[in-house]
Amino acid sequence: MREILLVRFGEVHLKGLNRPQFLRVLVDNVRRAARPFGGRVWLSDSRIYVSDMTDPDACARAVAGVFGIHSVSRAVEMDKGDFSAVCAQAAAMMAPMRGTFKVRARRSDKRYQPDSPGMCREAGHAILEANPQLSVDVEHPDHVLEIEIRDHATLHTGRLEGVGGMPMGTGGKACLLLSGGIDSPVAGYMIARRGVRLMAVHFHSFPYTSQRAREKVVELARLLSVPCGRVELFVAPFTEIQMRIHAQCPEAYGTILMRRQMMRIAERIARREGAQALVTGESVGQVASQTLEALGCTDDACSMSVLRPLIGFDKSEIIARAEKIGTFETSSLPYEDCCTVFTPRHPATHPRLERIREAEALLGEALEAMLDESAAAAEKVVLREGHTEGTEN
């Protein structure tokens, strides 16, 4: 008999002939999460198991945070040959409990006896005999003891919900436009939860934005790297382009023109780094640059797919998710970003694309060279699992 973690996965079951590939990646990701706790990880009969942990609770929390994991239980594993011994263990595990309970049992080997209803009856009887403080309630119990018969018998009394999604590294690579706000880190997390590896681009307008604003974004990228693994953050200079827009273009179009150049620079960096899509934290109608017309004008500036996982969310929903993933406090620090520089007093909310293109033409032939220079000059900061690995210019 030994203590283990019983780890369940969800959507991977639906992958048909591709399932072995997804499972290999998922098991490797669980192995990395369990490594700080000395955990030994293996896959058997549609379950992932972890044993030999130095801190089972901390290990369970780390594993539950792996994308693709449905739930984790601290369990007891024992030989399944003598079911009366399994019943005795069930009774012992329920001894500290008070109130009502039920037994839930399943067996992957249909030849095993007793069958699932029989296991529930026998284990329930043993629990009641040994624990008079408990009573049965199969509809709304206070406690549920679960028994699984696979290679061994496993017993547990609780589940820690996992984050779900798909295994990291199975969905390609995308480039997140990471501001210092609340929305974009949540958007990045949600795309990463679908198995997509993240890189990020941030635009820095020195001296209008401070070193503290830059450090804030690096911290957001560091926080994302905890669940998302390796994140490469590119900090691109944007001052010259922003000043050119402010000086030469109609003020009402300033924000949209700025967004178009950000998309172009991000696309250059993304293609160079092997990403297949851009990700933004926009949602319909949240600000003037996020009306349907404005979003269409922004998308016109690039040929790469643009993913907007928050498109139908309201602000309270986004804040709730930011609090859950741990980015809200950092995002709320009062350090400016380039989106607040030269903000129009009366921004266009329903721009026409032909007018935007005409305004952009005022920037002249030098614009393409300026975009290339910004992409080439971007400073690279590499973060992995909550740590900064290094910086490159």
Q: Judge whether 178 is annotated as a binding position.
A: yes
Question: Could you give the residue ranges of the DSSP H alpha helices within 196-341?
Answer: 211-228, 239-248, 254-272, 292-299, 315-325, 328-331
Strands 173-177 and 197-204: parallel
Q: Is 67 flagged in the annotation as binding?
A: no
Q: What's the CA gap between 219 and 150, in Å, rounded?
A: 44
- The answer to whether 202 is a known ligand-binding residue is yes
> Which DSSP category does 38 fall into?
T
Classify residue 13 by its DSSP letter.
Answer: G
* Euclidean distance between CA atoms 381 and 392, whole angstroms: 6
Distance CA 165, CA 321 (A): 15
Task: Answer yes or no: is 290 a known binding residue.
Answer: yes
User: How far is residue 38 CA from its own chain's centroid?
Assistant: 24
Residue 156 and residue 64: Cα distance in Å, rounded? 16
- Which of left, alpha, beta for 342 (phi over 0: left; psi -120 to 50: alpha)? left
Among 109, 96, 93, smallest CA distance to 145 is for 93
Handedness of CA 228, 234, 235, 236 (dihedral sign): negative
CA 274, CA 221: separation in Å to the nearest integer?
19
Q: Which residues pair with 306 in a beta bridge?
A: 278
Residue 321 CB burial class (10 angstroms; 0-12, 13-18, ≥19):
buried
Q: Which helix (H) or strand (E) holds 250?
A: none
Residue 133, helix vs strand vs coil: coil
Directed axis angle between helix 254-272 and helix 366-377, to 10°? 50
Residue 83 counted as an annotated binding residue: no
Backbone angles phi, psi at 173, to 5 degrees: -135, 140
The binding site consists of 177-178, 202-203, 259, 281, 290
The binding site for ATP consists of 177-178, 202-203, 259, 281, 290
